[in-house]
Amino acid sequence: MTYATGHPVRAVGGRLILDFVNTADWTASGTIAHEKIESTDDLAVWLRALGLGEARPSTSLPELIRARFLFRQALTTGRISGDLGDLLTRSRAPCAVSGGDLHRQASRRPLLDLFAASFLSIGADARETARLKICPGRDCGWLFIDETRNARRKWCAMETCGNRAKATRHYDQHRKTRSAPA
């Protein structure tokens, strides 16, 4: 699936809240380099791609985008701002779902409740927070849980940021070799 801009929807974070935060590319300073969800249509595409087509956006798109920033800030700093604390207090994330298909029941919840539950599950598990990483790719800044055995995953996805970094490194080495005095 692709957004209206033609960019493919990619879920590489390993957790719902990380994939939501990753709907933007981030600079090293934490500002948005490229927005993926520019409209409610883009949000609907993203939700369908993640199997959440029945989730209810219980708030406006600008409020969801603001919440995304607050979640990312908390995940990268380990501190919950007052605004995010208010959002988490209002969410019904811990409420139980009963009867029927668990995924279907959960996917019908308001989006902010689903995001809050995912966020809280990462924070509640020290192993998750210890393996939470930020992709160092240029203007990427995507978050992911490193689930490799040796915890040495570096890139959000090797086929994008990892390959770009390797190609840049190769180009730089080749350029240095060619410009070195003989």
- Domains of the chain, first to last: 16-179 (1.10.3300.10)
pLDDT averaged over every residue in the chain: 87
What is the C-alpha to C-alpha distance for residues 60 and 46, in angstroms, rounded to an integer? Answer: 16
Range in 49-63, 81-95, 102-116 with the lowest mean pLDDT: 102-116
Percent of the chain with pLDDT over 70: 85
Residues 6+ apart with CB under 8 A from 147: 14, 131, 153
pLDDT given at position 182: 59
pLDDT given at position 165: 63
pLDDT given at position 147: 94
pLDDT given at position 70: 97
pLDDT band at 5 (very low <50, low <70, confident <90, very high): confident
pLDDT band at 36 (very low <50, low <70, confident <90, very high): very high
Q: What is the mean pLDDT of residues 69-92?
A: 93
